[in-house]
Structure 1
Amino acid sequence: MSFIVNSGDCMGLSGRSGTGKTLLLRAIADLDQSQGKVLINGKRREDFSGPVWRKKVGYLTAESRWWYPKVSQHFSFIEDCNPRDFGFLDMTIFHSEVSRLSSGEKQRLALARLLSGSPEVLLLDEPTANLDNSNASLVETLIKNYCRNQDAVAIWITHDQSQLERVSQNQLVMKNKSLIEL
């Protein structure tokens, strides 16, 4: 399979459950061994050290992971985050206990954590699955603006076809571990 995502663009990826969408993102993120080639601006993944690659390529999992008890412990530069960008009223959310957050709050904070690293590539595995319509719309706008303003690219997995039409310039469907362009 082969595809190109241009700077500033979002590519939508859909398909039935179990067809390999998440595995593709994990391979691009270099979390799973793969035989394919992945390039950023013409440079191969192998040309970068692991830490540099992971700074360039940000992966938002469908279920966010939290390994410290307080939200603030997950951010290097918490003051760089504008809580309103993520649907929060003020900075108090960043001082909360992770265990007290809703799944939607965790998902938006995981996105804030991802974007705080300024990656060039966003790999988004159902980034709005736990969100109400208002917050899903906020996240859609935030990611589109991030890609446009940072010349970043996004690969966005979702089962919501109308969402793909709103957020992506190109759409691919994963079928039997193969990609089909729409």
Structure 2
Amino acid sequence: MTTLLHLEAADVAIGPVTILHGVSLRLERGERLALIGANGSGKSTLLRVLHGLLPPARGRLERDAHARQAMVFQRPFLLRGSVVRNLALGMWLAGVPWKEACERAPQALVRVGLAASGLRNARHLSAGQQQRVALARAWSLQPDLLFLDEPTANLDPPAKREVEALMADFAHAGTSMVFASHNLGQVKRLATRVAYLEQGRVLADLPVLEFFDRGRLAEVSREADLFLQGELPS
């Protein structure tokens, strides 16, 4: 298997506060890694470190230099103007020539089921549609690795199903993923592997079937087992 990412013994601090403590993770091509844990456990920070947006204060991150990456945030930032222009600008800022970006943008909207919304103001779309635009923008960059931070948070059930279906489609097409989620059902449906974070540390990292095997999980991490039982860390 090809290693896409290798994070080793990483500490991350924001000001005087250390957010991640000695985190080590390796991601192989084709894996779909779910990050779970309570609010403030470090999931979003870890995503940003893996994507290269935050440098570790200690430790190191090694990435496959040939792998293309993209990230979808919990609340996607959309520029003023039409949906199709948002996509074209995203590609152009990533180095795609403008003419090619304008040609690829409508194809990306077809991919996420928004072909009829290309000329609408992106900021006037529903939350679910905006998240699909963000996924289209990411997909248009043809990433080998996609990072998603709570991609279905605050969406209604139909919109959640639409976004999950798109994530599954991307995975089936060969895109590797790292995503943070509070939805354990979503984790079971989409992940091949699960990492549990608590207070900035990875306390369990297991294949998805082993993670949701209570006996196996209890052997690895009492804290993760309690989290699955609904006991939040103090």
CA contact (8 A) 1:60 1:125 kept: yes
CA contact (8 A) 1:13 1:171 kept: yes
Displacement over 4 Å in runs of 4+: none
Residue matched to 1:6: 28
Residue matched to 1:112: 136
TM-score (norm 1): 0.82
Cα 1:82–1:105, aligned 2, differ >3 Å: closer, same or farther?
A: closer
Q: List gaps (5 residues or longer) in structure 2.
A: 1-22, 88-100, 205-210, 212-234
CA contact (8 A) 2:73 2:149 kept: yes
Residue matched to 1:168: 191
**1:31 aligned onto 2:53:** yes
Q: Secondary structure at the match of 2:34?
A: strand
- For residue 101 of structure 1, report the CA deviation from its aligned partner: 1.2
Residue matched to 1:126: 150
- The answer to which structure has the higher strand fraction is 2
CA contact (8 A) 1:14 1:157 kept: yes
Question: Residue by residue, what CA displacement relative to the aligned partner does 1:93-128 show, whole Å, maximum 9, x if unpaired?
Answer: 111112311121111111111111011111100111
Q: Secondary structure at the match of 1:78?
A: helix
Residue matched to 1:57: 69
Q: Which has the higher contact order (CA 8 A, sep 6+)?
A: 1
CA contact (8 A) 1:14 1:159 kept: yes
Q: List gaps (5 residues or longer) in structure 1.
A: none
Amino acid at match of 1:95: L
Q: 1 CA distance for matches of 2:119 and 2:154? A: 21
Cα 1:72–1:82, aligned 2, differ >3 Å: closer, same or farther?
A: closer
Residue matched to 1:143: 167
Q: 1 CA distance for matches of 2:145 and 2:61? A: 12
- For residue 168 of structure 1, report the CA deviation from its aligned partner: 0.3
Q: Secondary structure at the match of 2:26?
A: coil
Task: State the identity as a percent.
Answer: 25
Q: Secondary structure at the match of 1:66?
A: coil
Structure showing greater radius of gyration is 2
2:85 to 73, 85, 94: 73
Amino acid at match of 1:142: L
**1:86 aligned onto 2:98:** no
